[in-house]
Amino acid sequence: MSEQFQDRRRALLELHVHLEGSLAPELLRALAERYGQPGVPAACLTPDGSRYLPVAGFAQFLERYKAVVSLLRTPRDYHEAALGLGAALAGQGVIYAEVTVGYGVMHRQGVAVAPVQFALHEAAAQVAQERGVRLLWQADAVRQWGVDAAWKALEAALRCGPGLGVVAFGVGGDETALPAGDFAPLLAAAAREGFGTTLHAGETGGAGSVREAVLAGARRIGHATSAGAAPEVLALMAAAGVFAELCPGSNVATGAVAWFEEHPLRAFLEAGVPCCLNTDDPALFGLSLRGEYDRAREGLGLLEAEERRMQLQALAACSAPMDMRADIGDRLVAD
């Protein structure tokens, strides 16, 4: 068996992927037709509608993300999005994904959360049966909309709970809008209920933003990119066992790093920070998880042993129940 073939077959885990950023162009077009919004695909896709236009910086990404999310309005829409993501992940050899869903956005848009989460749970069961991919869900709040709105998102997540596949809670959005410490009681409450906790930090903010997220009690940090240039923050993350959800291709698209080879992956590895690679918003950025690992091997010197270790670290950092973790671990070992 060739090394190239082994790479394609290797089992992967993803811990930082937004459902809303995973909509395939054909689903975006279908939703736009469903709701009479032809301007959305016109603004987001190439003229032939086959792929998303390149993103030029973080501000443009946010506008495009908002346009895409505006077409997710019903449980059916979310169900179709989850099935599409499951199919895409299966094609990349992903066997487990913790998928972020915008609870804060749903509240903002007047979408009832519970019926959507029920639809997502049904889709996850179908994906597991038909594709062999396990999907669980991380409810997400938006930092710039304030702590009260984030509590509302957490309360909705707790009402859905593990029975509907919700196992984690995160806070995304503009990391410069409010101090991470404002959300420390929220993260502590989520952790007491058995949820994994994540904060986005170090994507548009500096290394101090990552440090604040660690001190606020987040067990995982989304992006954490700027910490790569701050050895003291990396040491803090390593000592606390805080996991970094690295997203190099996304960081290039939004301008957090100038080019892929500039991503500080090696700094995280050498500092002993547990981490894995992720796609963030794969459809919007034209990414695949297998492609991210291939690019890291070619451009960042990632070794096969390091990649395998990252999958085991991702398993340890995930929020899946123990029986599911054991099954995923068996599949990783057998791979």
How far is 8 from 291, CA to CA, in rounded Å? 10
CB atoms within 10 A of CB 154: 23
Q: How far is CA 329 from the centre of its chain?
A: 20
How far is 184 from 305, CA to CA, in rounded Å? 35
Give the chain's largest Cα–Cα span: 55
> Are 318 and 13 contacting, i.e. CB atoms less than 8 angstroms apart?
yes
First to last CA, the chain: 13
Q: What are phi and psi of 295, to 5 degrees?
A: -65, -35
CB atoms within 10 A of CB 138: 28
How far is 214 from 275, CA to CA, in rounded Å? 14
> Are 196 and 319 contacting, i.e. CB atoms less than 8 angstroms apart?
yes
Q: What are phi and psi of 257, to 5 degrees?
A: -130, 150
Length, in residues, of the chain = 335
| 26 noted as active-site residue | no
Q: Which of 80, 175, 203, 212 is catalytic?
A: 203
Taking CA atoms, 148 is separated from 102, 110, 184, 185, 301, in Å, by: 16, 16, 13, 12, 44
CB atoms within 10 A of CB 1: 6
CB atoms within 10 A of CB 128: 14
Q: What are phi and psi of 197, to 5 degrees?
A: -130, 140
Catalytic residues: 203
